[in-house]
Every structure is written in structure tokens, then in C-alpha cells.
């Protein structure tokens, strides 16, 4: 039976699970929105670097009120802290890092993901946006792309589809999807359900996913 949690708790659980994708030595980009929360859950013994396309290499956790520096922000214009050993660079240098394939991992938000790993996450037609941001560069520059998002939209409709309906950020770029209900890998033969959140059943996951799912023989149930 599905477990119903408040939105904040769901987002925290997704961010905590996404943190497990980061390995020692990784250079990582965190996308705007929920992905920025991942910085708050980095294990203290993990040696890695968080990079922001606006020119901060070495992002730390979110600041406490007394630590807020309005000039120290991430790409989403949220205030952040800088970790020990961090450095600052121009946006041009930051994108040279991204386009030069120096990022091991990018954790991004998503509006839609297709069964072939297409990603739509930068705009909804008719909605006012500030710009496309750096996502189109990141999805082609990072070695691994992990998308974190709700499994369904606010209308209860699937966000993991046979084919994306929104404008694409990139085709065939997604490696793994982490939602409030499951972890799904994008393989060359389609989508594979590898983890299921506690309280959900395989049948419920399949019903809330438009794309066809193959169930891993090593399916795990996790508490995220």
C-alpha cells in the first residue's frame, strides 16, 4: 500500500537517495530546484566537489540564517556556502569544464523522461521562463545523468513516458531516474525497475508509469 507523506519529507527522501549516487573523487553538478537539496546530505567522509555553472567550484550545504551571504549563490540564485578549498571562476570557465566532459555526474530535475532516456526539463510551452539555463550543455557533458523528480505530476499523470511531449533538453541522455516511488535505470533495451520505495508495490509502480518496465531480478526495496 502506498505511503502518503508530506511534500517536504518526500523531497528530502529523494535527495538523500540521490546522494548515494555520488562517489569519492566525483565532480558533480546539481541542477536547479530539488537537486540543490542533495548538498545538504553529503556524507562527511565523502571526498567530492560540487560545481555550479555560474562559477563556484566547491559548493557546501545550505547556509544557516547567520551565514547567509547574498553574493554567494548557486545557478538557481539560492544562497549557498562554499566548502573548504572552493574556488571561483567565470561562467565561461565553468562551461568549459562542463563541455570538456570533466563532470562525473549531474543530478537534475525532470518534467518528463521517455523510455529511451529522452529528457524534458527546461520549459513548458506558454509559460514564462528566465531562459534555458545550462541543462542542454550539462546533459551532453556529464558522464552520468541522474534525474530526480516526482513519479507523477500534480494531476496524478505519469512523468515517465513512452515519448516526451514537452520540448526536449536532450535525446537519450538519462542514465537513472529516482522518484518518490522507485529507482529506474535506462538501459539499451528499455527501462529497468531496480529499487522500489517502501510501501509501494511493483503493480502500483507499473500503473503509474506509462513506459513499459522490466523488473530487475535483483529488485531492492528501500526505505527512501
Q: Are 208 and 151 in contact (CB under 8 A)?
A: yes
- 31 Cβ contact list (under 8 Å, min separation 6): 106, 107, 108, 109, 121, 135, 138
Q: Are 180 and 200 in contact (CB under 8 A)?
A: no
Q: Say how far apart CA 162 and CA 65 lie, in whole Å.
A: 44
CA distances from 23 to 46, 75, 129 (A): 7, 23, 33
Q: Which residues pair with 30 in a beta bridge?
A: 107
Decide if 53 is catalytic: yes
Q: Say how far apart CA 37 and CA 18 lie, in whole Å.
A: 10
Q: Say how far apart CA 114 and CA 110 lie, in whole Å.
A: 11
- 88 Cβ contact list (under 8 Å, min separation 6): 55, 56, 57
Exactly one of 53, 112, 115, 195 is catalytic; name it: 53
* Backbone torsions φ then ψ of 204, nearest 5 degrees: -65, -40
- 100 Cβ contact list (under 8 Å, min separation 6): 141
Residues with catalytic annotation? 53
Amino acid at each position: 500500500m502506498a505511503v502518503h507523506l508530506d511534500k517536504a519529507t518526500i523531497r528530502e527522501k529523494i535527495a538523500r537517495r540521490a546522494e548515494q549516487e555520488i562517489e569519492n573523487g566525483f565532480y558533480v553538478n546539481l541542477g536547479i530546484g530539488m537537486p540543490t537539496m542533495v548538498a545538504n546530505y553529503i556524507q562527511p567522509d565523502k571526498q567530492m566537489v560540487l560545481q555550479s555553472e555560474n562559477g563556484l567550484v566547491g559548493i557546501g550545504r545550505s547556509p544557516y540564517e547567520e551565514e547567509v551571504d547574498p553574493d554567494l549563490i548557486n545557478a538557481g540564485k539560492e544562497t549557498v556556502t562554499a566548502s573548504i578549498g572552493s574556488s571561483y571562476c567565470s561562467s565561461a570557465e565553468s562551461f568549459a569544464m562542463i563541455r570538456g566532459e570533466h563532470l562525473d555526474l549531474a543530478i537534475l530535475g525532470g518534467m518528463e523522461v521517455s523510455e529511451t532516456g529522452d529528457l524534458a526539463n527546461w520549459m513548458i510551452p506558454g509559460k514564462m521562463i528566465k531562459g534555458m539555463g545550462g541543462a542542454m550543455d550539462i546533459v551532453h557533458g556529464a558522464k552520468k545523468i541522474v534525474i530526480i523528480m516526482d513519479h507523477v505530476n500534480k494531476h496524478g499523470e505519469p512523468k515517465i513516458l513512452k515519448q516526451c511531449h514537452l520540448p526536449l533538453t536532450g535525446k537519450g541522455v538519462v542514465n537513472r531516474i529516482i522518484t518518490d516511488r522507485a529507482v529506474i535505470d535506462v538501459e539499451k533495451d528499455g527501462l529497468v525497475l531496480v529499487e522500489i520505495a517502501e510501501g509501494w508495490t511493483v503493480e502500483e509502480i507499473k500503473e503509474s508509469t506509462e513506459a513499459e518496465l522490466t523488473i530487475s531480478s535483483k529488485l531492492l526495496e528501500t526505505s527512501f
